Structures are given as structure tokens and as C-alpha cells.
Amino acid sequence: MNAIIQAQPASMQTQASTDQQLITLWLHGKSQHSQRAYLADVERFLNVTDKPLQNVTLGDLQAFVDGLTGSDNTRKRIVSSVKSLFTFGQKLGYLQFNVAAALKAPKPKNTLAERILSESEVLTMIALTAKERDKVLLRLLYASAGRVSEICGLCWRDVQPSGDSGQVTLYGKGGETRAVKLSKETWKALQSIRGSAGPHEPVFASQMGGAMVPSRVWQIVREAAQRAGIVGNVSPHWFRHSHASHALERGASVALVRDTLGHSSLQVTSRYTHAKPDQSSALHLAV
């Protein structure tokens, strides 16, 4: 079943008479990235079951889940997407029953500890990186706990003085905005690479002059890990995990780390923070 959905205007209808209309309504208002991810998950389900949503049974759903491949986290995400669609369909009145309500997602293995670098590893990765821009990039990934998309999207207008150092404003998932105060050392390092760049220019520019793309950040991180002799598929997100772990170890409160990372809870990442924070968990780190 083809479930490719085109973006709809804000004035779209609020009722659905077909699966395709239901999915369009379900996706409406989500970010483009989220729409692509949700749609891929639902298309995978529709292609396997090959029947209208109104005819799907709990047995169909369970068979789909049992046949899923991939990591535990991937399977959990797919099940969550499908359950969300069925919940939405019932609320809208398109589905009489939410047969997915009783469906349980597979529990993922806790592999977080495997993705936390030691302080020594982080500092070695930074120290062994020769190019100053890349060195600052690694430092900011760690200090700000920013997601790679947030770091790539930074412009100099998002970098502002604050007290005796400065802060960066990160724009994250679902319109989430947070300001992260940096240490004096990281602020000085960040300012050192600005040169004559204007406020609307990217902090980390590509050779073509535009913003650095996430794939290039991944490459810089992988190369830095190799130079430091770190085994594993180290990604930019490891710096985010490491920031949280190290800040807590150094005495930052759980609430402060949560706010710096942009988490309103363990499950939800959609919280606005103060525009001029006096503190952040970045100030508890060694950079």
C-alpha cells in the first residue's frame, strides 16, 4: 500500500475517510524530519500487513512486531509510531477501536554506558585535532551537549556574551530552544575562530561557505577518535552522553543537566530555557 503523503496546508480538513487522509492528518504539524521518520515506520507496517487500517487486528500487529529486524531501539521506535497512528485514528473517530493499545514495544538493551567517553578520551580527541576549527567543533559538541543538527545550524547571531563568558542558543526538536552558558575557556576558543564573519554566517562553515553538514561532523569525530585510539563507532552524540555523565560526576544537579540537554523528562525533549542562564552543566566540565 502506498502511503506517501504530501504536505498539507494549515487549513486542511480535520476528518479522514481513507487511510491516506488519516496519515496526512497524523503527520500534520510535525517537523519535516519527524514526518519522514514516522512515515517510513508506518509504510513499513502497511507494506507488511497489506490491509486497510480498519481491518487490522491485534494478531496482525503482533505478527508484524515479531517479524521486525534491527536494533532494539529501532524496533521500539517503529512500534511507537504505529501505536501513535492507531491512537490518533481512534481519537479522530476513523477507527472504532484502538487495537494497538495492548501492543507492547520490545524493551531495548541499555547500551548507554557503551556510548560514554571518559574525560581523558574527550580531551585527547580535542588535543590531537590539528585544525583549529575542528578542535573548537569537538569542544563545543562536548561543552554544549548539542545535537549535531543544532551545532551545524549555529550562526554567529546565536553566540552572545553573557557575564564573564558567553552562551550559545541552540534550536532543537519541535521548536525547542535553549541557551547554554559556556566556560570562559570554551567561550574564548569559540571567539578565536570567528574572524570577520557576520552575524548571519554559520559558526562552522563548509569549504563552499555554507553551513557544515552533519555527515562532515561525523567524519571529523570519527577521525578524532581514531587518532585518540578509541575503539568503537564513535558519533557526535557520544559527546552529548559524555557531557551528561561527566557533569553529574562533577557535582552538577540532575535538574541542571536536564535543562542544559533540553529534556523536560526522560522521555520528552521539548522545553524552553531562560534566554540568559547564569549557570549550565557546561560549567562543571573540564573544558
- Same domain? For 203 and 218 the reply is yes
Tell me which residues are annotated as active site: 147, 173, 237, 240, 263, 272
pLDDT at 210: 92
Give the percent of the chain with pLDDT over 70. Answer: 86
pLDDT at 136: 98
63-82 burial code (b ≥16 CB/10 A, e <16): ebbeebeeeeeebbbbbebb
> CA 91 to CA 239: how far, in whole Å?
40
Higher pLDDT, 274 or 15: 15
- Same domain? For 46 and 172 the reply is no
- Asked if residues 257 and 144 have their Cβ atoms less than 8 Å apart, the reply is no
Phi/psi at 139 (nearest 5 deg)?
A: -60, -40
The most confident of 52-56, 169-173, 272-276, by mean pLDDT: 52-56
Q: Is the pTM of this model over 0.85?
A: no
DSSP symbol at 5: -
pLDDT at 140: 98
Cβ-based burial of 230 (10 A; exposed 0-12, middle 13-18, buried ≥19): middle
Looking at 60, 83, 109, the residue that finishes a domain is: 109
* Segment 135-157 mean pLDDT: 96
* Mean pLDDT of the residues in the chain: 85
CA distance readout (Å), 191 to 18, 75, 124, 176, 209? 54, 43, 22, 25, 18
Report whether pLDDT(6) > 60: no
- Same domain? For 148 and 123 the reply is yes
pLDDT at 82: 94
Looking at 62, 86, 109, the residue that finishes a domain is: 109
- Same domain? For 164 and 270 the reply is yes
- Same domain? For 67 and 141 the reply is no
- Same domain? For 280 and 198 the reply is yes
End-to-end Cα separation, the chain, in angstroms: 52
Higher pLDDT, 38 or 17: 38
pLDDT at 19: 92
- State the pLDDT confidence band at 271, using cuts at 50, 70 and 90: very low
* Segment 259-269 mean pLDDT: 60
Higher pLDDT, 165 or 268: 165
CATH code, domain carrying 219: 1.10.443.10
pLDDT at 267: 38
* Segment 232-250 mean pLDDT: 89
Residue 63 is placed in which grid cell? 505478527
- Same domain? For 20 and 119 the reply is no
- Same domain? For 61 and 31 the reply is yes
- Same domain? For 140 and 276 the reply is yes
pLDDT at 275: 27
Residue 77 is placed in which grid cell? 521506535
The secondary element (H helix, E strand) that includes residue 57 is none
How many structural domains comprise the chain?
Answer: 2
Report whether pLDDT(285) > 70: yes
Residue 123 is placed in which grid cell? 580531551
Furthest-apart CA atoms within the chain: distance in Å: 63
- State the pLDDT confidence band at 188, using cuts at 50, 70 and 90: very high
- Asked if residues 122 and 247 have their Cβ atoms less than 8 Å apart, the reply is no
> CA 182 to CA 162: how far, in whole Å?
9
Question: Strand 159-162 and strand 165-171: pairing?
Answer: antiparallel
The most confident of 154-158, 246-250, 276-280, by mean pLDDT: 154-158
CA distance readout (Å), 13 to 23, 25, 216? 12, 8, 41
- Same domain? For 164 and 99 the reply is no
Range of the domain at 201: 113-284
Looking at 87, 109, 131, the residue that finishes a domain is: 109
Residues in the chain: 287
CATH code, domain carrying 61: 1.10.150
Residue 82 is placed in which grid cell? 504505529
- State the pLDDT confidence band at 12, using cuts at 50, 70 and 90: very low
- Same domain? For 228 and 243 the reply is yes
- Asked if residues 172 and 187 have their Cβ atoms less than 8 Å apart, the reply is no
pLDDT tens digits, 149-167: 999 999 999 999 999 999 9
- Same domain? For 133 and 256 the reply is yes
Which of 126, 73, 95 is CA-nearest to residue 16?
95
